[in-house]
Amino acid sequence: MSISTQLVKKLVQIPIFGGLTVAEAAEFFEVAVEDSLARGATLFREGDDGDSLVVILEGEVQITRKTVELSRLSKHNVLGEMSLVSEGEVRSATATAITDVKLLRIPSKRVQKMIKGNNVAALKVVVNLAQVMSKRLAAISDRFAAAGGGATTGKKREELADFGRILTTWQF
């Protein structure tokens, strides 16, 4: 599928796609598929195969894990990004459309093939992903520290340490 140059120029403003030239972005997004969901529809469920990166073009999506709301994402937010670097992993949360949603799906297998082929655009996206995930990990650590750890301090610290090890030992 070919997406418009205007949309490509907007997408490269999203942190995970930052630094891509318009030509690199056009190549990266050449297999992207535009899709839509009606309000209340499920984009994916916790435990589903992680088969694509999703960019929200319009609307709002709720992210839940074990029925607990984790966040709400809207226009130009990205979800499912871990599927780009984790072959065979399952979704860790459920994504549900709060409003009618237009989105762009980028198949993970295609991106993984690009990474293995040392494609510059895909490698830039992975570097950006690592930076985004590093910031998220720091924010999680800060929130955990600010909360004082609670009764499950040891368990939560170990989970954060495991996540940190995953981020620092990616191999391609």
The CATH number for 28's domain is 2.60.120.10
97-125 mean pLDDT: 94
Closest CA to 17 of 108, 131, 134, 167: 131
Predicted confidence at residue 97, as pLDDT, reads 98
Closest CA to 126 of 75, 69, 73, 86: 86
* Per-residue pLDDT at 22 exceeds 50: yes
The answer to whether 43 and 35 have CB atoms below 8 angstroms apart is no
Domain that includes residue 89, residue range? 5-168
79-104 mean pLDDT: 90
**Phi, then psi, of 43 in degrees rounded to 5:** -75, -50
H helices, E strands: number in the chain: 5, 8
* Per-residue pLDDT at 119 exceeds 90: yes
User: How many domains would you assign to the chain?
Assistant: 1
* Per-residue pLDDT at 137 exceeds 50: yes
Closest CA to 46 of 96, 9, 107: 96
170 band by pLDDT with thresholds 50, 70 and 90: very low
164 band by pLDDT with thresholds 50, 70 and 90: low
Tell me the C-alpha distance between 95 and 40, whole Å: 10
Name residue 22's amino acid. Answer: V
Output the pTM of the full model: 0.79
Residue 150, judged by CB atoms within 10 A of its CB (0-12, 13-18, 19+), counts as exposed
* Per-residue pLDDT at 16 exceeds 70: yes
